[in-house]
Amino acid sequence: MGSVRLIARLDIKAPNLIKGIHLEGLRVVGDPSEHARRYYEAGADELLYMDIVASLYERNSLEDLVRRTANDIFIPMTVGGGVRSIKDVDTLLRAGADKIAINTAAVRRPELITEVARHFGSQCMVVSIEAKRRRGGVGWEAYTDNGREHTGLDVIEWARRAQDLGAGEVLLTSVDQEGTRKGFDVELCRAVSSAVGIPVIASGGMGTVEHAVEVATGSEVSAVAMAHVLHYGIVGFPEVRGALNAVGVRTRVP
């Protein structure tokens, strides 16, 4: 198994860093730049900025924030939300993003994944999948627009197809677990990470250090996204690293 990354996830409703439950019911947390800087200094392996209202307005508003962040934060930065075209990707990469996460536009037109991968390389094409457990509990369906819109796509099949189209990574958000602090959907993470050969980021539900251990040992995910636990100072990176290392999971040595 490779090394597991600890990602600080910052959901943005411009100009604020916000946090919701099940990707809804948003609360303002504070200034995204300040939080990003604090997480960098505290040892985050990566930043993930998601413009969570962008799909609604069909544009990503994070270019300035990304540019400011890139000035003095020296870890990889993934940006998503409302990215629809090669031009959008180019704009955000030029602003300083390293990877771009795409959900809605890729569902509407899966060839976009291939186009982005060809243009900029697979390494910066992250397919973002919002997964909700199907009624009856068998399997998961992919959603868009913060878990509001059905796509009819089976999450595992969609992840595989995205990989075949050229995606370099999967950002896998459990809509059911997101904001609950009750832990990741480990079964979902296991199903997707064993179905694809590209790295999978587990997102949604982290409330304690043990949750990170559960998903890192119970699935083959390559990264764990942390939001609430960071925003409210509940868990720190060294603590999570220590717990993961103690069960034999490799992490960055800062």
Partner 1 sequence: MSKVAVVDYGLGNLRSVAHGLEHCGGEVSLVSEAAAIRDAHRLVLPGVGAFENGMAGLRERGLVEALLDVAASGRPMMGICLGMQMLLDRSHEFGLFDGLGLIPGEVVPVPPVDAQGRPHRIPIIGWYELSPPDDGPAFAADGILAGCRPGRSCYFVHSFMARTIDPADVAAVIDYNGVAVPAAVQRGKVIGCQFHPEKSGPVGLDILRRFLAMEA
Pairing of strands 24-30, 99-102: unpaired
**Using an 8 Å Cβ cutoff, are 12 and 32 in contact?**
yes
Active site residue 11: yes
**Using an 8 Å Cβ cutoff, are 223 and 212 in contact?**
no
Site for partner 1 in 72-101 (CB under 8 A): 72, 74-76, 93-98
Q: Whole-number minimum distance, CB 217 to partner 1, in Å? A: 17
Q: Whole-number minimum distance, CB 252 to partner 1, in Å? A: 3
Site for partner 1 in 169-198 (CB under 8 A): 169, 197-198
User: Of the two residues 147 and 168, which places its CB atom closer to partner 1 in the complex?
Assistant: 168
Site for partner 1 in 103-162 (CB under 8 A): 120-124
- In whole angstroms, give the CA distance from residue 162 to residue 159: 5
- CA-nearest of 98, 99, 126 to 112 is 126
* Count of CB atoms situated within 10 Å of the CB of 27: 12
Pairing of strands 200-203, 99-102: unpaired
Count residues near partner 1 (CB under 8 A).
36
8 scored as a contact of partner 1 (CB under 8 A): no
Site for partner 1 in 23-62 (CB under 8 A): 40, 43, 45
Would you give the binding string for partner 1 spanning residues 151-170, x where CB under 8 A is met?
-----------------xx-
User: Of the two residues 69 and 146, which places its CB atom closer to partner 1 in the complex?
Assistant: 69
- In whole angstroms, give the CA distance from residue 157 to residue 195: 9
Q: Whole-number minimum distance, CB 107 to partner 1, in Å? A: 23
SS3 of residue 121 by DSSP: coil
Question: Considering Cα of 16, then 11, then 67, then 8, what sign does the dihedral take?
Answer: positive
In the complex, the residues that contact partner 1 under the rule CB under 8 A are: 1-5, 40, 43, 45, 70-72, 74-76, 93-98, 120-124, 168-169, 197-199, 222-223, 251-254
